[in-house]
Structure 1
Amino acid sequence: MTAGGIAWSRRRAALGRLGREFAASRSGLAGLIALGLIVLLALAAPLWIHADQLSVIKATGGVLSPPGGDYWLGTDHAGRSVLDLTVYGARVSLLVGIAAAVLSVGIGTVFGMLSGHFGRWVSAILMRVTDFFLVLPALVLAIALSTMLARGLGTIILAIGVTSWPSTARLVRAQTLTIEARPYIERARALGGGHRHVLLKHVLPAVLPLVLANTTLAVGSAIISESTLAFLGLGDPSKVSWGLMLKQALDTGAVTAGAWWYLLPPGVAIVLVVLSFTLCGRALEVVLNPNLRARS
């Protein structure tokens, strides 16, 4: 067997071991199952929820009707089904949360790896930029960006992604410094491996588990940020999301009218999704970090 085949076999065995350890975590497995069901509902939503059912003009239900009959979770201020809005809103919330988390973790990974690898003045400059974003309130900066840029999902993703990466950069930098102190990195350099070879062939595969776990945790924070921006009126009003539902419920007097069925479903949905991502992320941390695994 070639060296590449041996390396691939070892990686496959390691992935199999990590998969078995993750499956042994009851909380992580519960979070994964919940996420799977939520994602499946979100993807299948267009199959049984038509555009007319989400239209304010073509809605056929009563105004703020309580649950019952054809509307299991009642209706909103325009007579639309709250159940349909909640299920369809998962598409936008998950899309923005995952995309913003990937963007955030991607920026943090690049900054952290370059800072840890090159050191000296490169590290000093990158860390000062990281510190600048770290001391700024992320939500305030995201609100400012959302206000200055055109309304849309892309703006929300950009606003969340470029304001929430500093913690990832510091984590990846610390991991990169640890990896580059190992003997095999010195051997790679002695054999003529350049910066690109060391970063892509050795450092990146070693920090990927940490990045994966951090991405899972970052999705929950991004979903909360998206809901907050939409609740403040900075989201895309043409797209149904959980934050927009909460804003519309507040603006149309659902709170004073006692229409709990308009407020509770999107709020519970946000809590369930964030909790599921957090459970998966914590389980991944325990599996990938021997120290945490020993304490648990």
Structure 2
Amino acid sequence: MKRFNTARFLEHKAGVAGAAILAVAALVAVVAPLLIPADALDVTRVTDAPWQAPGAGHWLGTDHTGRSIALLMVQGAGTSLFVGLTAAVLSVAIGMLVGIVSGHFGGLLAGALLRITDFFLVLPALVLAIVLSTVLPRGLGTIVLAIGLTSWPSTARVVRAQTLTIEARPFVERARALGGGHGHVIAWHVMPSVVPLVLVNATLAVASAIVAESTLAFLGLGDPTRISWGALLHQAQLHGAVPQRAWWFLLPPGAAIVVVVLAFTLVGRALEAVVTPER
């Protein structure tokens, strides 16, 4: 198994470019909202005219209430990235647990876990997320839960396959012959081989989670108290940005989603090339 090597990662120019984009996005999401005045996005205090085209006063124009699209984009970056990261962590954690347990222990437990995994694989993840978001109380936690609970099966399959491969190696058999228990085998032999693949899968899972959050928010199933890029697209559609020909209300959030998802994908592919075993 190839260990992660920074020098090898830097050889992948697309991955480095993706990492740079993500660093800028993270900086904007964390630091920029602290610099926004408290009343800048308050619809009761905004004095600018609605539907202003991009110009010197507002680089990305204004929305239907007169709020700056640029400030809304900055505010929404934190929500979109937070949901993407937390939902991906939840998804990968469930998938890793199911994959290791089913691959290591086998028997009836593995059979039951595989049937559950197959059930989630057959049903469309987005449809399940929409159902959960509709049934459960509206909020950011519900979105994270809905995405995380419906997108783990692919990780479980990858982790299970890697677990079975590692446990078939002679050194694992020797460890068991010397008295190594389940905890020893999993912690010292399975986990070191599984974690690099999980890291790659997690990077790609964040991209999928951001798209899922944007889709749910666009459908009006997001947190109504939070601004996100998907919520901006929902507001643009709801308040007639197309009839108003306000392309500046539609293009920036859509472009931000595409760019950030592409950046996570590029980083994930670069990590995959670094940690994938040699053929």
Q: TM-score range by the shorter chain?
A: over 0.9
Whether the 8 Å CA contact 2:233–2:250 is kept in 1: the answer is yes
* Aligned with 1:276 (options 243, 254, 263): 263
Is 1:256 the counterpart of 2:243 in the alignment?
A: yes
Q: Which residue in 2 is equivalent to 1:142?
A: 129
Q: Which residue in 1 is equivalent to 2:39?
A: 52
Q: Tell me how far 1:47 sits from its aligned partner.
A: 2.6
Q: Which residue in 1 is equivalent to 2:54?
A: 67
Is 1:112 the counterpart of 2:99 in the alignment?
A: yes
Q: Which residue in 2 is equivalent to 1:126?
A: 113
Gaps of 5+ in 1: 1-10
Gaps of 5+ in 2: none
Q: Tell me how far 1:187 sits from its aligned partner.
A: 1.4
Q: Which residue in 1 is equivalent to 2:252?
A: 265
Distance 1:14 1:145, change over 3 A: closer
Q: Tell me how far 1:203 sits from its aligned partner.
A: 0.6
Comparing both chains, which one has the higher relative contact order based on Cα–Cα distances under 8 Å and sequence gaps of 6 or more? 2
In structure 2, C-alpha distance between the alignment counterparts of 1:99 and 1:88, rounded to whole Å: 18
In structure 1, C-alpha distance between the alignment counterparts of 2:243 and 2:277, rounded to whole Å: 51
Q: Which has the higher helix share?
A: 1
Letter of the 1:71 counterpart: H
Q: How many residues are aligned here?
A: 279
Is 1:203 the counterpart of 2:185 in the alignment?
A: no
Moved more, 194-203 or 125-134: 194-203
Summarize deviations over 1:56-100 as a string: whole Å, max 9, x none.
Answer: 211222111001122010000110000010111010000000000
Summarize deviations over 1:4-51 as a string: whole Å, max 9, x none.
Answer: xxxxxxx9x944xx1110011000000000100110111112232123
Q: Tell me how far 1:257 sits from its aligned partner.
A: 0.9
1:1-296 correspondence to structure 2 within 5 Å: 14-15=3-4, 18-291=5-278
In structure 2, C-alpha distance between the alignment counterparts of 1:272 and 1:55, rounded to whole Å: 28
Summarize deviations over 1:117-146 as a string: whole Å, max 9, x none.
Answer: 011212111100000111111111101111
In structure 2, C-alpha distance between the alignment counterparts of 1:50 and 1:136, rounded to whole Å: 45
Distance 1:290 1:201, change over 3 A: closer
In structure 1, C-alpha distance between the alignment counterparts of 2:64 and 2:101, rounded to whole Å: 52
Query: If the length of structure 1 is used for normalisation, what is the TM-score?
Result: 0.92
In structure 1, C-alpha distance between the alignment counterparts of 2:37 and 2:190, rounded to whole Å: 48
Moved more, 21-30 or 113-122: 113-122
* Fraction of identical pairs, as percent: 62
